[in-house]
Amino acid sequence: MALVDQDQEHLRLLTIFYYAYAAIVALFACFPLIHLAIGFLLLTHPSLFGEGKNAPPAFIGYLFTILGAAFILIGWAFAGCSFLVARFLGRRRHYLFCLIVSGANCLYVPFGTALGAFTLVVLLRPSVKAMFVEPPPLPLQSPVPQSNL
């Protein structure tokens, strides 16, 4: 019984940490908004950055805009995945998704690495894996009962 209680506590702590981590990742993913704004300014008002020979080429504005938007979307998508892991850990669902995202977290040094490694250690325990067994799907039923007339 003590092992099950310890597993429950570890999953509860990981859930809390993943919620906090998702919020931090979403916040840091907003930093490229500066690049996005500069890109829009370069595209719409290039005269602000120089006239004549000193004017920046148009592709610089596109580069800032596209890369800024890409980094924001990737960061928010990863924050969303981390939020889903927190939710799934709390509900003991989607074991494989939690395992994959925790492995991807290991790429984000230092906090993601620590969180991902601890999550992998906890999730790879057989007792924890047994908690994630999903019930079989319900059989399909017709919405209207058929009468025998």
The 10s digit of each residue's pLDDT in 6-38 is 999 999 999 999 999 999 999 999 999 999 999
Question: ∠ CA 115-16-11 to the nearest 5 degrees?
Answer: 75
**C-alpha span between 77 and 44 (Å, rounded):** 28
Distance (Å) of CA 41 to CA 31, 36, 48: 17, 9, 8
pLDDT at 79: 97
Whether residue 144 has pLDDT greater than 90: no
- Please give the distance of CA 123 from its chain centroid, rounded to a whole number: 18
The 10s digit of each residue's pLDDT in 101-121 is 999 999 999 999 999 999 999
The 10s digit of each residue's pLDDT in 53-62 is 788 888 999 9
Enter the pTM of the model: 0.82
111-123 and 2-28 are packed helices; what angle lies between their axes, rounded to 10 degrees?
150
